[in-house]
Amino acid sequence: MKLNDTITFVGKTYTVTEIFGNCPEAAKQLGIVLQATITGKRGATRLLQIFADGTRRTISLSGRSEVEYAI
């Protein structure tokens, strides 16, 4: 994944606007391998977390989270 890539998450399209460098140790212990900021077509901004097992989770600015499990 790199900046300006387009991804689909739970049927919606987002653009990767920022990729965070090294994950904090606490995040690594939870299995998170990548964190990035994504923005939707209508301006919704979310934190995207990708786990080692392929599961992806987003967290909105209001704290609502959605999970997409790896198949």
Q: What is the dihedral of CA 25, 56, 20, 40, to 10 degrees?
A: -150
How high is the pLDDT of residue 51?
95
> Which of these, 70, 40, 38, lies nearest to 56 by C-alpha position?
70
Residue type, 51: F
pTM across the whole model: 0.88
What DSSP line would sit under 21-55, residue for residue? SSPPHHHHHTTEEEEEEEEETT--EEEEEEETTS-
Whether residue 71 has pLDDT greater than 80: no
11-69 per-position pLDDT tens digit: 999 999 999 988 788 888 899 999 999 999 999 999 999 999 999 999 999 999 999 99
